[in-house]
């Protein structure tokens, strides 16, 4: 499948998406990403919806 996106939930970290994805932000802005995209699961990222590594400093378990 050419247009397949793989989503992997990393232990105690972000959701990793691999493939071509269209991100639609809360304000309606759209952004196309290719390759690996890390999405925040801990809620502490300063660059939401993307992971910036804050889960490490905040001891996120999930």
User: Is residue 40 over pLDDT 70?
Assistant: yes
Decide if 25 is inside a domain.
yes
Domain interval for residue 19: 6-57
Decide if 12 is inside a domain.
yes
> Read out DSSP for 1-62?
-TT--EEEE-TTS-EEEES-EEEE-TTS-EEEE-SEEEE-SSS--SSTTB--SHHHHTT---
Pick from 4, 1, 2, 32: nearest CA to 18? 4
Can you give the pLDDT at residue 35? 96
Decide if 62 is inside a domain.
no
What percent of the chain is predicted at pLDDT more than 90?
92
Can you give the pLDDT at residue 1? 52
Q: Tens digit of pLDDT for each residue in 8-33?
A: 999 999 999 999 999 999 999 999 99
* Number of folded domains that form the chain: 1
């Amino acid at each position: 499948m050419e247009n397949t996106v793989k989503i992997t939930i990393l232990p105690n970290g972000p959701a990793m998406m691999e493939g071509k994805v269209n991100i639609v932000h809360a304000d309606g802005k759209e952004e196309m990403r290719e390759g690996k995209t890390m999405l925040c699961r801990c809620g502490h990222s300063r660059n939401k919806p993307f992971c910036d590594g804050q889960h490490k400093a905040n001891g996120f378990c999930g």
